[in-house]
Amino acid sequence: MIELPDVERMIESIAGYTTGKTISTILIDDADIVEIPPEIATEYLEDHAVDSVERHGRYVVLKFRSEYSMMFDMGDNGQLRLESQTAPATERTKIRLQFAAGRELRFSSEGSEGVVTAVKEGEFSDTGALESLGVDPLSEELTPEKFSSLASKNARLTLKGFLLNQKAIAGIGNDYADEICFQAGVRPDQKVAQLLPEQLQQLHRYLRRVLRRATLHWSAAHSDPGWLINSREKGNACPRCSHALKSLRVTGRKTVICPRCQRAA
Ligand SMILES: [Zn+2]
């Protein structure tokens, strides 16, 4: 599943080249995923420059110097990357934005993952997608007080269900939700209503710490032997206490915990 730090990395790798450059040709390879009417592509996107590349939760928004933006819902495995225009399309290719300057921005995904749309300025709320997104976990807006108030609004969910609720906090997916609970020493399968104030504080602190580190220092985080994310597939020992890790299903999702390091209230 694509999570906030992954989206940040993709944006970082494409923003420098794309910003300010004009798109000459748009090639739609999969019309089931790309819901952009050809007349919109021709009139408002082709021959217009990209003004900015922004992240909203797990969405990437490419703002054009026209009244339109292109919105990418990355799905579980979507990918945006720069390629040479001579690189052939593959069965994963959904859309190619070719720049007059020579390269192309390509959105690819496995199967039917992801959605690409064009949205007119001022009409984002009509799409429903961005408007209903919760607070960004890396923004200053997510204070400890805000986190506690969101928790009380989601009191009936499991902790994992709360962290994954994109309408509360936008951008956390399965693996980072488990990492946050592990680092904070709290069980993801307990009900939010049962969390103690100090557990909420710990969760807020580690939520910021985990996502910030994964965003700014992705490689270091993803090779840190102390992180659960690097042990979850092996399904064996806890990186902290060496006790056997346990795999559960919480809110329908595969969840890895250390029963010794993570305690219920
Ligand atoms: Zn442990």
Surrounding residues of ion ligand 1, Cβ less than 5 A:
238, 240-241, 243, 258, 260-261
Of 73, 93, 127, which closes a domain? 127
Residue 233 has pLDDT above 90, yes or no: no
Q: For the chain, what percent of residues have pLDDT higher than 90?
A: 78
Please indicate, yes or no, if residue 136 is contained in any of the structural domains. Answer: no
pLDDT, average across residues 120-147: 82
Q: How confident is the model at residue 101 (pLDDT cuts 50, 70, 90)?
A: confident
For residue 77, the enclosing domain spans: 4-127
Residue 219 has pLDDT above 90, yes or no: no
Please indicate, yes or no, if residue 265 is contained in any of the structural domains. Answer: no
Q: DSSP string spanning 98-165?
A: EETTSEEEEEE-STT--EEEEEETT-HHHHSTTTT--B-TTSTT--HHHHHHHHHHTTTSBHHHHHH-
**Co-location of 72 and 174 in the same domain:** no
Please indicate, yes or no, if residue 37 is contained in any of the structural domains. Answer: yes
Residue 235 has pLDDT above 70, yes or no: no
**Co-location of 38 and 67 in the same domain:** yes
Number of domains in the chain: 2
Of 127, 161, 191, which closes a domain? 127
Largest CA distance in the chain: 60
Q: How confident is the model at residue 171 (pLDDT cuts 50, 70, 90)?
A: confident
**Co-location of 160 and 88 in the same domain:** no
**Co-location of 118 and 150 in the same domain:** no
The per-residue pLDDT for range 49-63, each reduced to its tens digit, is 999 999 887 889 999
Alpha carbon of 45 to ligand 1 centroid (Å): 52
Residue 234 has pLDDT above 70, yes or no: no
**Co-location of 203 and 88 in the same domain:** no
**Co-location of 208 and 236 in the same domain:** yes
Alpha carbon of 238 to ligand 1 centroid (Å): 5
**Co-location of 12 and 63 in the same domain:** yes
| pLDDT of 207 | 97
CATH of the domain at 229: 1.10.8.50
pLDDT, average across residues 217-238: 87
| pLDDT of 131 | 67
Alpha carbon of 240 to ligand 1 centroid (Å): 5
pLDDT, average across residues 162-178: 92
| pLDDT of 121 | 83
pTM of the model: 0.80
**Co-location of 208 and 97 in the same domain:** no
Please indicate, yes or no, if residue 263 is contained in any of the structural domains. Answer: no
3-state secondary structure of 250: strand
| pLDDT of 31 | 94
